[in-house]
Amino acid sequence: MGIARVAVTLTAAACAVVVGMTTAVASPASAPEPEVGILTPEAEAEVNARLEQSKPVIALYKGRQINLADGWQGAQACTEVPSGKVYCYDSTEEADAALPTIDPSAAARKLPGAAFGPTAFSDCSSPYFCLFESGNGAGRRLQWSADGTKQLADWDFRDKASSACVVRPLGGALVYDARTGLPDPYMALGNLACYNFIDVGYPTGGSWNDKADYVEL
């Protein structure tokens, strides 16, 4: 389910199409400015209907199954592969080393040491969207490749995201803040870029740091 199904107007950067992606992709001089806005009631109702279909996220970690909503049990990196299976690891380095095994299609298009914008982030492999608990791509890393609406509470990441990278075949990513009784703000992230949420202004003041509640790819 791509971001084009959400009834908000996205900038060209958020809808950029990457053609002929290879092992190495030139980094832009600076990250594009995310589009920030507030959902219409109709768009919010549509997204909420998809959120109601969310299910518990069960991941494989150290040979056992864990429910991520209950915490990561010490894991520092979790990957959802295209099949929907989720694997967690003790470090991003361990997760990167395992990627060719759990998702061979991504391994051939890996972007090692990619640096986007003013700061260098931990590796975020194509075709993944990576969310980080700390700024500059630090802290716990959560990454997905398949389109869909991700309820971050199910992943123990609600109100805990401080940066992100988008390295997808096409399109960008939408990040939302769920507000009770008020329209939900959104942040549209363009492709082939990384973002520090503390640098992105929130519609009612402050920044987007630690405000993400759900994500749509």
**Cβ neighbours around 146 below 10 Å, total:** 15
Say what the alpha-carbon torsion angle 184, 201, 5, 171 is, to the nearest 10 degrees. -160
* Per-chain mean pLDDT for the chain: 80
pLDDT over 50 (residue 3): no
- pLDDT by residue (tens digit) across 43-75? 777 777 776 666 889 999 999 999 999 999 999
- Domain residue spans of the chain: 3-18+31-216
Please report the pLDDT score of residue 121 as a whole number.
61
Instruction: Read off the DSSP letter of residue 213.
Output: -
Please report the pLDDT score of residue 51 as a whole number.
66
- pLDDT by residue (tens digit) across 113-122? 444 444 446 5
pLDDT over 70 (residue 167): yes
Beta strands in 7-128 (DSSP E): 35-38, 58-61, 64-67, 77-80, 86-89, 115-116, 119-120
Give percent of the chain above pLDDT 70.
Answer: 75
**Cβ neighbours around 84 below 10 Å, total:** 11
pTM comes to 0.79
**CATH code of the domain occupying 3-18+31-216:** 2.60.20.10
Q: Read off the pLDDT band of 92 (50, 70, 90).
A: very high
Average pLDDT over residues 185-203: 93
Spatial contact of 217 and 168, defined as CB atoms under 8 Å apart: yes
CA distances from 175 to 65, 97, 167 (A): 28, 28, 15
**Cis geometry, peptide bond prior to residue 127 (ω within 30 degrees of 0):** yes
- pLDDT by residue (tens digit) across 124-142? 888 899 999 999 889 999 9
Of 9 and 166, more confident: 166
Task: Name the token pair of 150.
Answer: 């991700």
Please report the pLDDT score of residue 84 as a whole number.
93
Got the DSSP string for 85-117? -EEEESSHHHHHHHHHHH-HHHHTT--TT-EET
Provide the phi-psi class of 139: left if phi over 0, else alpha when psi is between -120 and 50, else beta: left
Please report the pLDDT score of residue 53 as a whole number.
66
Distance from C-alpha of 185 to C-alpha of 36, rounded to nearest angstrom: 7
Instruction: Read off the DSSP letter of residue 170.
Output: B
* Placement of tokens 């109702």 in the chain: 45
Distance from C-alpha of 155 to C-alpha of 188, rounded to nearest angstrom: 21
Please report the pLDDT score of residue 168 as a whole number.
86
Distance from C-alpha of 62 to C-alpha of 51, rounded to nearest angstrom: 29
Distance from C-alpha of 189 to C-alpha of 14, rounded to nearest angstrom: 5
